A and B are shown apart, each in its own frame.
Chain A
Amino acid sequence: MATIDAERINTMIVTIARQLKDGDLVAQGVGTVLVTTSFMLARLTHAPGLTVMSGVGNCTYRDFVQLSLAGYERQILDKSIYYYSFTELAGDYHEVISCRMVEFFRPAQIDAYGNFNCTVIGDYNRPKVRLPGAVGIPDVTPVNQSMFFYTPTHNRRTFVEQLDFRSGVGFMEGQDQAYRDGLGITSRGPSLVITDLCVLGFDSASSRMMLKSLHAGVTLEEVRDSTGFDLVVPREIPTTEPATSEEMRLVDQVVDPLGIRRLEYYPGGPQRDELILSILAREEALMGA
């Protein structure tokens, strides 16, 4: 099992936060505690007007909400300003994205063109791993203009030459926008891929994934070894701007003092169960239960 590099994860968290603009509408998916940490960090720093559309609570909130586990649903529902039905959100999605509605996806697999898989590992009809499912990903990826990817596991199981299933459409096989428009894919495609090793974008000429920056201490060789396809590599590769001590203070003391964000990258098993139980105990102690 690879050891978790806290500094690299912190670089991911702040990089995700920096993609948000003040006044943005951002979608919160279920179980996405790492990006939720980023959203709340952005809310406390450069994006105080951030509005979260929460799939966890089927509600919209603008208030700051600290991460919690058992108490989280109550926190966001109490503080929310609007309840929506998901039929409303999904059925009226075209109207929703006329505001800049930012979505972050965590792919189980992603290919060189930003197409990705959240449905099955292996054959669809007899999978090796049946994943939960793609929910809204097949609906939003053809039409949303503000999409980002993140993964704390940049390796060859994630970055693959050939997907087992295409749940979300990226740049397809590299066709131009005129072709995409003809199919009804009005999205201009995803923007960035933020991983525990680096930040990637998509080359405007070929639509293939392109390295944009390496996190501190990460080499190009390490990224290549962790990627199952050829990346477009620029001549000069900057270093990803790391987290500031103030940003990490906000994360550790204000946004996520219980360290719930770890649940997005701790591997499953007894260690993870113990972590959840210890977080739960601390949460209950803090609430004075």
Chain B
Amino acid sequence: MRSKIVDITRAADLVCDGDTVAFGGMTLYRRPMAFARELVRCGRRGLTALTFTGALETDLLIAAGCVSRVRSGYVGFEFLGLAPNFRQAVERGRIEMIDETEGTLAMGLRATTGGVTFMPMRGLVGTDILKVRRDLAFVECPYTGQRFVAAPPITPNVAVIHVQQADDFGNAVLEGNHAIDRDLVRAAKRVVITAEQIVPNEEIAQRRGKAQILGIQVDAVVHAPFGAHPTSCYPFYPVDIRHLIDYLKLAASEGSQSYLEKYVFGPRTPEEYIATARSELSPGG
């Protein structure tokens, strides 16, 4: 079987301008940041950033002009504050925001993976989500006549997930804080895995917990140590709060161009990024 391991630039070729790209992870935890930076370097345009919760990867791509639409239930930096470029872009009408909810995301992914054209869901009734999401229709149950919102399928063009370990076929270990990653892998047309560590297939098979992502659903694997930085990758390194505070300060005071110069366009390789950016990390790769 041919190895799926490629370098990050080759993996980024799987993303075309205008694609809906789903980024795995959760707020400040295990985001595919190296891949997001690569998309900026490659100059992708017109992307839709789809996340369960979005933070730096979304904000950075907006700052770089790569994203024209966001689909998410939450874009923000948790206790660190609002996402500055996201916020400004929406307030000035420069990007389109599609307010998803946990329900529309969960049931939309289930519709895709279930091969059906909608998934009935509870919730949303009585809220203004139904006013701004004119694309959402209602369905009447054929058995009881009860009305539900019909969540449409969500099928990203590409899902990119940062994982702790992967083998060269794309079987991957997720150590915790799964968010919606496993469903993104199953629903997306193409899947990129970036991994802290590449391990032999036997090592994954011997784990009691096995794999959480099946290689057969993966298109490309990238070895990316510290590939989630400055977000965390449990248990290897925690969230780099100082780096994020610097990002937010720079974004507020002079826009994000200086950050992009220093951390995205400056470093010629992921290794150079790590040398520039890391503050206190334990080795994971």
- A positions within 8 Å CB-CB of B: 30-31, 33, 55-59, 69-71, 73-74, 77-78, 80, 83-87, 89-91, 93-94, 115, 119, 124-143, 165-169, 172, 180, 183-185, 263-264, 268, 272-273, 276-277, 280, 284, 289
Q: Is residue B206 contacting chain A, with contact meaning CB distance below 8 A?
A: no
- Residue among A73, A84, A94, A280 facing the most chain B CB atoms (10 A cut-off): A73
Interface stretch of the complex, out of B9-17, B76-84, B267-275:
B76-84
Q: Provide the bound-state CA to CA distance between A55 and B90, in Å.
A: 25
Q: Is residue B86 contacting chain A, with contact meaning CB distance below 8 A?
A: yes
Q: Is residue B74 contacting chain A, with contact meaning CB distance below 8 A?
A: yes
Q: How far is the CB of B200 from chain A (nearest CB, A)?
A: 24
Report if A136-B183 is in contact (Cβ < 8 Å); known contacts: A80-B176, A184-B122.
Answer: no
Q: Provide the bound-state CA to CA distance between A90 and B176, in Å.
A: 17
Other-chain contact of A91, B74, B87, B91, B110 (Cβ < 8 Å): B110
Other-chain contact of B79, A134, A180, A263 (Cβ < 8 Å): A263
Q: How far is the CB of B241 from chain A (nearest CB, A)?
A: 5
B window 121-162: CB within 8 A of A: 121-129, 132, 146-148
Q: Provide the bound-state CA to CA distance between A80 and B122, in Å.
A: 29
Contact between chains at B127 and A141 (CB < 8 Å)? yes
Q: Provide the bound-state CA to CA distance between A105 and B176, in Å.
A: 25
Q: How far is the CB of A94 from chain B (nearest CB, A)?
A: 6
Contact between chains at A85 and B183 (CB < 8 Å)? yes
Chain B residues positioned under 8 Å from A141 (CB to CB): 126-127
Chain A residues positioned under 8 Å from B87 (CB to CB): 129-130
Interface stretch of the complex, out of B37-45, B215-223, B232-240:
B232-240
Mask, B91-126, CB within 8 Å of A = 1, is 101000101011101110110000000000111111
Q: Secondary structure at chain B's binding surface: helix, strand, loop or mixed?
A: mixed
- B positions within 8 Å CB-CB of A: 26-27, 29, 52-53, 72-76, 78-83, 86-87, 90-91, 93, 97, 99, 101-103, 105-107, 109-110, 121-129, 132, 146-148, 175-183, 232, 234-235, 238-242, 245, 249, 280
Chain B residues positioned under 8 Å from A263 (CB to CB): 79
Contact between chains at B125 and A127 (CB < 8 Å)? no
Report if A59-B177 is in contact (Cβ < 8 Å); known contacts: A74-B235, A127-B90, A131-B82.
Answer: yes
Contact between chains at A138 and B180 (CB < 8 Å)? no
Q: Provide the bound-state CA to CA distance between A33 and B79, in Å.
A: 8
Q: Which residue of A lies closest to B106 (CB)?
A: A90
Q: How far is the CB of B268 from chain A (nearest CB, A)?
A: 29
Other-chain contact of B128, A33, A167, A183, A276 (Cβ < 8 Å): A167
Contact between chains at A142 and B177 (CB < 8 Å)? no
Q: Which residue of A lies closest to B133 (CB)?
A: A138
Q: Provide the bound-state CA to CA distance between A143 and B103, in Å.
A: 12
Number of A-B contacts (CB under 8 A): 199
Q: Provide the bound-state CA to CA distance between A33 and B241, in Å.
A: 16
Q: How far is the CB of A278 from chain B (nearest CB, A)?
A: 12
Q: Which residue of A lies closest to B280 (CB)?
A: A289
Q: Which residue of B lies closest to A94 (CB)?
A: B122
Contact between chains at A138 and B129 (CB < 8 Å)? yes
Contact between chains at A142 and B52 (CB < 8 Å)? no
Report if A138-B241 is in contact (Cβ < 8 Å); known contacts: A132-B83, A184-B122.
Answer: no
Other-chain contact of A133, B99, B183, B245, B280 (Cβ < 8 Å): B99
Report if A85-B128 is in contact (Cβ < 8 Å); known contacts: A30-B78, A74-B235, A138-B101.
Answer: no
Other-chain contact of A139, B81, B124, B146 (Cβ < 8 Å): B124
Contact between chains at A87 and B180 (CB < 8 Å)? yes
Q: How far is the CB of A286 from chain B (nearest CB, A)?
A: 14
Contact between chains at B129 and A90 (CB < 8 Å)? no
Q: How far is the CB of B43 from chain A (nearest CB, A)?
A: 26
Contact between chains at B125 and A87 (CB < 8 Å)? no
Q: Which residue of A lies closest to B109 (CB)?
A: A87
Q: How far is the CB of A60 from chain B (nearest CB, A)?
A: 11
Q: Which residue of A lies closest to B178 (CB)?
A: A85
Q: Provide the bound-state CA to CA distance between A33 and B148, in Å.
A: 35
| 9 nearest A-B pairs in the assembled complex, by CB-CB distance | A132-B76, A169-B126, A139-B123, A90-B106, A90-B102, A136-B102, A139-B103, A31-B78, A130-B90
Q: How far is the CB of A58 from chain B (nearest CB, A)?
A: 5
Report if A139-B148 is in contact (Cβ < 8 Å); known contacts: A31-B79, A70-B239, A167-B129.
Answer: no
Contact between chains at B241 and A70 (CB < 8 Å)? yes
